[in-house]
Amino acid sequence: MFESLTERLQNAFSKLRGKGKLSEADLSDGLREVRLALLEADVNYKVVRDFTESIRARATGQEVMRSLTPGQQVIKIVNEEMVNLMGGEATRVNMSSDGPTVLVLVGLQGSGKTTAAGKLARRFSRDGRTPLLVAADIQRPAAITQLQVLGESLNVPVFSMGSNESPVKICQAAVKQAVKNGNEPVIIDTAGRLHIDEELMEELRQIKRQVNPTEILLVADSMTGQDAVNVAKEFNDSLDIDGVILTKLDGDARGGAALSIKAVTGKPIKLVGVGEKLDALEEFHPDRMASRILGMGDVLTLIEKAEAVIDEEEARELEKKIIERRGLTLDDFLDQLQQIKKMGSLDQLADMIPGMSGNFQVDEEQMKRTEAMIRSMTVQERHNPRIINGSRRMRIAKGSGTTVQDVNRLLKQFSQMNRMVRQFTAPGKKGRRRSGRGFPFSFNN
């Protein structure tokens, strides 16, 4: 995510950090690098100009120029201004206090509206709500079927009246059914076009007038950069949207849309899609995103991801087992790998760790090979790796599609890790770690 922008900004900052004192010429050179990095990231030109001028105005103050670490002070200002640029603080989706919450998703074809509707339904279902998905896109072939398939996979009801009824009547009938059945919220998937036209906007305006939605959320593809910003402006001018769901953020190496939308439209990014899976939808936190863009990591989101997948009871049980027997089994290690995988791609997780962004290459295939090797072992071998002799190693390698050298490496690293765990859990040791939590174990290829 935003890899090229992060790299360019870090290069600019490295020059500033090395300065004991910061002259106006140094500051101008640094801001020039920042400006070029943002323009290359496809950030709106006016946004870049205002952003850099705001930094210059703050950075030329005496508290920066006379600071012992002026470079770090400038970076702090850049971080703060970037947070402000993206909205300052997280903005949640509003829920209605009177009647069902109605969320209308709008956007161009291909932006990911239908998938976003499914992700929203998954998010609300996880929070204990009973959402209703509404198939109001009668323009795109198979749009209704796609939403029905998503609803079935989520065990969420889908309201449809086929492709011959008007979208306005579909939406009105859906809201009535939601009131009758107690569904909350109502998530309406509307039609898109390959381009913005008056027919599309009029259809959406009619839905807005007749349904009176709680929020209209624009679904925009972050990878289209300034096109996404232009689309957001046009939709906002016509519909007065309430916020933006930015999709495909995990594949966006530039970040122009994320940095420009709020400044251009005045409307916040509320949610971001960070993967293809239905649980890959996150709240947008400007402060955390700025930290990630500047290569400072995003520890809070990493912790939230860990808390979402860790079963507290299992964690306590694992801790108890490790302390009692003073060590791990390969089954325990496999369970840890599974929990890490639930948190998302390893590249994304690495980007959330301060100092790791752009400097740490994660081999996802190595993790798959590790999992395959452990699954190729017998129960006895997983619980007592010392019995794995030469012939067993050959069988495990053959069964997992790996080599004997791979198996040897796994067993050696597992043994080293277990020695470390025993040191932390040895009786009488000070500062004994709670080994069942927080994934203290790592596997490096």
Give ∠ CA 64-70-71 in degrees, rounded to 5.
135
How many domains would you assign to the chain? 3
Distance CA 406, CA 413 (A): 11
Specify whether 75 is located in the same domain as 151: no
Q: What are the backbone dihedrals phi and psi of residue 301, each rounded to the nearest 5 degrees, phi first?
A: -65, -40
CB atoms within 10 A of CB 243: 23
- Dist CA 299 CA 310 (whole Å): 16
Mark whether 116 and 226 lie in a shared domain: yes
Q: Are residues 124 and 59 in the same domain?
A: no
The token pair at 285 is 């936190």
Structure tokens at 82: 């970037």
Per-residue confidence (pLDDT) for residue 351, from 0 to 100: 61
Mean pLDDT for all residues in the chain: 82
The answer for residues whose C-beta is within 8 angstroms of residue 369's C-beta and 6 or more apart is 400, 401, 402, 406
Cβ within 8 Å of residue 11, ≥6 positions away: 33
Distance, CA of 253 to CA of 238 (rounded, Å): 30
The DSSP bridge partners found for residue 134 are: 159, 188
Domain that holds residue 396: 304-425
311 shares its domain with 278: no
Instruction: Kindly report, residue by residue over 303-325, the tens digit of the pLDDT.
Output: 555 555 556 666 666 666 665 65
Q: Can you give the pTM of this predicted structure?
A: 0.69
Lowest mean pLDDT among 13-22, 137-146, 191-200: 13-22
Q: Which CATH number goes with the domain that contains 323?
A: 1.10.260.30
CB atoms within 10 A of CB 17: 13
275 inside domain = yes
**215/331 same-domain check:** no
Q: Say which CATH number the domain at 224 has.
A: 3.40.50.300
Q: 288 and 158 in one domain?
A: yes
Tokens (6 digits) for 217 = 């959320």
Q: For residue 207, is pLDDT > 70? A: yes
State whether 137 and 241 are in the same domain. yes
Q: Mean of the pLDDT values across residues 222-251?
A: 90
Residue 196 pLDDT exceeds 90:
no
pLDDT digits (tens, 9 = 90+) for 167-177: 999 999 999 99
Q: Do you know the residue count of the chain? A: 445
- Could you give the CA distance from residue 1 to residue 290 in angstroms, rounded to a whole number? 12
pLDDT, tens only, 88-145: 888 999 998 888 999 999 999 888 999 999 999 999 999 899 999 999 998 887 889 9
